[in-house]
Amino acid sequence: MSEATGALQSPFLKLIPKDKKHVLVIGCGEGQEVAWLNRHGFEAVGITNNPSEAKNGGKKFSVDLRVADMHDLNLKTKFDAVFANQVLEHSVAPFLALLHWRDFLNNKGYLVVGMPSREWIPEFYHYSVLTHSQMKDLLSKAGYKLLAGPEKKPEIGYNGGDIFKDLGRGWGHNDAYVAEKTNIPNKGFMLGESNLPHLKISPAKKLIRAVLKYPYNKLRVYHARTHHE
């Protein structure tokens, strides 16, 4: 891969801290990205679901490529960063994929995802082209903290360049997200005592919450389903 074709990888070099060197590339094809990262000081391993790509790429670029499905990586190692460009939109279960990838990240490991913007939804081979709010919500529910992405002020150091351009429209109808592995968020997000463990709630307030909980949650689900952005 030439430097000119490294448009996505170049921000990767600026965004990922120098101590996070062990990288898993999901959807690596014949390993061009793996080879590119190795040349720039990373220790990269690639995943493809195509055996011929792994065989040909391993010989062509002298890289470590494994054959596996993105939803079942079957690896015994953990990585400092997971890099998946133009991959998640081909998943029929993106939330499960993000949860699964998290299992192979070290504590506070980084996830870098590049995927098409909504202009690409009509393509028949795209199953999960997500809006910005959908992607941010999935990352949070899957146990990641979003550090940089479209329509967001970055919370990560960026050594030069325009992070908003590099992580968004500058890639050509492409969105990108940088997130950090965190603890799985508390699942008790519905209205009720579990959401307010630090407060002492009087019996009267408990009764009011019990009465309001069902209609509130029905309204919340309706709003979530009818307001996508």
Residues 103 and 203 in one domain: no
Query: CA torsion sign, 75 to 80 to 86 to 90?
Result: positive
pLDDT at res. 159: 58
Residues 164 and 213 in one domain: no
**Is residue 40 very low, low, confident or very high in pLDDT (cuts 50, 70, 90)?**
confident
Task: With a cut of 80, say whether residue 70 has pLDDT above it.
Answer: yes
Instruction: Give residue 203's domain range.
Output: 193-226
CATH number at residue 43: 3.40.50.150
pLDDT at res. 184: 65
**Is residue 19 very low, low, confident or very high in pLDDT (cuts 50, 70, 90)?**
confident
pLDDT at res. 228: 42
Q: Which has more confidence, 94 or 194?
A: 94
Task: With a cut of 60, say whether residue 172 has pLDDT above it.
Answer: no
Task: Decide if 187 is inside a domain.
Answer: no
Number of domains in the chain: 2
Task: Decide if 188 is inside a domain.
Answer: no
Residues 170 and 206 in one domain: no
Tokens for 78? 């953990």
Task: With a cut of 60, say whether residue 165 has pLDDT above it.
Answer: no
pLDDT in tens, 135-164: 888 998 889 999 888 777 778 776 555 554
Q: Which has more confidence, 80 or 123?
A: 80
Q: Whole-number mean pLDDT of the chain? A: 77
State what percent of residues in the chain have pLDDT above 90. Answer: 30
Residues 157 and 214 in one domain: no
Residues 140 and 220 in one domain: no
pTM of the model: 0.72
pLDDT in tens, 186-221: 444 444 445 445 556 678 877 877 787 778 777 766
Residues 164 and 197 in one domain: no
Tell me the mean pLDDT in the region 175-183: 86
Tell me the mean pLDDT in the region 21-49: 91
